[in-house]
């Protein structure tokens, strides 16, 4: 598991261990958290503390490749490292898979669609991405990673399975990652104004982390896997609706503070998951209000225990 100490990765490691699998984790801890690798369900077999852009050594039955900073705060802080991780890191993982005939699930992103002109977004849509903007290190990096994966598949026959992850949230998100759910939950619990960019009419579709983990496992286990597959929640919410939901569920009395939209911020984001339903038998099950409540509770506990 590359990126196994991260938000989604740690939840996926925990599930695999609970099912009796042996799991090695590769992580450089740029955004990963060490204490998230301590589980009641079992222990990680090996911790490979390294950059995924360095050679990936070891023979495995399957690799989940999740390593890459995924929030604007972190991927824009070191844009060249982000691009290197997304492209060269994926190359290194695929080289390992080519040598050892290993299946790999590659975590791509809805950001490959950019600020989409098609709604909802289907896997056949090529996207509307600014190749020279401040988000392009991540957007184009992930697009480049998909290109490499498909060419390893075509040239070498590597069983590379691309999933495009849409907005995912839940316990263990970093408070400072700049994403809307973590921002709102953290701000509400601190009693600070909730920051809404633009007028709040832009939309996102929010998938709880346990649902996303199930989708990733389905992608690894599927008998037949055809091309990139969207994983996300097709229910669409305006950002201002999410802010109001967080205030209601947290019991907070924060005000809402409006700021200008960041450059190239997508206005609408909603996955078409027809393909995931068809070939993976997967769709999200956790209602957003239930997931937000669980997230707020875990944030509250973490703030009281760790202060981070």
Contact 256, 196 (CB under 8 A): yes
pTM: 0.95
Contact 82, 141 (CB under 8 A): yes
Radius of gyration of the chain (CA): 18
Residues paired with 107 in a beta bridge: 163
Does domain 7-305 bear CATH number 3.40.50.800?
Answer: no
Active-site residue (options: 30, 36, 75, 138): 138
Give pLDDT, residue 112: 97
Contact 208, 3 (CB under 8 A): no
Domain boundaries defined on the chain: 7-305
* Count of Cβ atoms closer than 10 Å to residue 61 Cβ: 10
DSSP 97: H
pLDDT digits (tens, 9 = 90+) for 189-198: 999 999 999 9
Give pLDDT, residue 307: 55
Provide the pLDDT confidence category of residue 308 given band limits of 50, 70 and 90.
low
197 is catalytic: no
Say how far apart CA 6 and CA 242 lie, in whole Å: 24
* Among 9, 6, 5, CA closest to 213: 9
Provide the pLDDT confidence category of residue 178 given band limits of 50, 70 and 90.
confident
pLDDT digits (tens, 9 = 90+) for 18-59: 999 999 999 999 999 999 999 877 899 999 999 999 999 999
pLDDT digits (tens, 9 = 90+) for 234-283: 999 999 999 999 999 999 889 999 999 888 888 999 999 999 999 999 99
């Amino acid at each position: 598991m590359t990126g196994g100490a991260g938000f989604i990765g740690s939840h996926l490691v925990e599930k695999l261990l609970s099912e009796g699998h042996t799991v090695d984790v590769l992580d450089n801890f740029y955004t990963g958290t060490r204490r998230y690798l301590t589980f009641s369900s079992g222990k990680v077999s090996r911790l490979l503390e390294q950059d995924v852009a360095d050679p990936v050594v070891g023979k495995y039955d399957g690799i989940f490749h999740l390593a890459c900073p995924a929030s604007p705060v972190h991927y824009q802080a070191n844009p060249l490292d982000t691009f290197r991780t997304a492209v060269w890191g994926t190359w290194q993982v695929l080289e390992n898979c080519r040598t050892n005939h290993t299946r790999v699930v590659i975590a791509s992103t809805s950001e490959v669609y950019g600020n989409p002109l098609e709604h909802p977004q289907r896997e056949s849509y090529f996207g509307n991405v600014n190749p020279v903007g401040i988000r392009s290190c991540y957007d184009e990096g992930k697009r480049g990673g998909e290109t490499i994966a498909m060419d390893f598949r075509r040239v070498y026959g590597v069983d590379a399975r691309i999933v495009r992850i849409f907005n995912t949230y839940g316990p263990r998100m970093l408070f400072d990652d700049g994403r809307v759910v973590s921002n709102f939950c953290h701000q509400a619990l601190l009693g600070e104004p909730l920051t809404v960019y633009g007028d709040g009419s832009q939309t996102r579709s929010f998938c709880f982390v346990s649902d996303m983990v199930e989708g990733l496992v389905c992608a690894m286990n599927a008998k037949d896997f055809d091309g990139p597959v969207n994983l996300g929640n097709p229910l669409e919410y305006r950002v201002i609706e999410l802010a109001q939901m967080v205030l209601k569920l947290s019991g907070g009395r924060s005000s809402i503070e409006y700021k200008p939209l960041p450059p190239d911020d997508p206005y609408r984001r909603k996955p078409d998951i027809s393909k995931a339903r068809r070939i993976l038998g997967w769709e999200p099950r956790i209602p957003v209000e239930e997931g937000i409540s669980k997230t707020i509770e875990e944030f509250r506990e973490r703030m009281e225990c760790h202060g981070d």
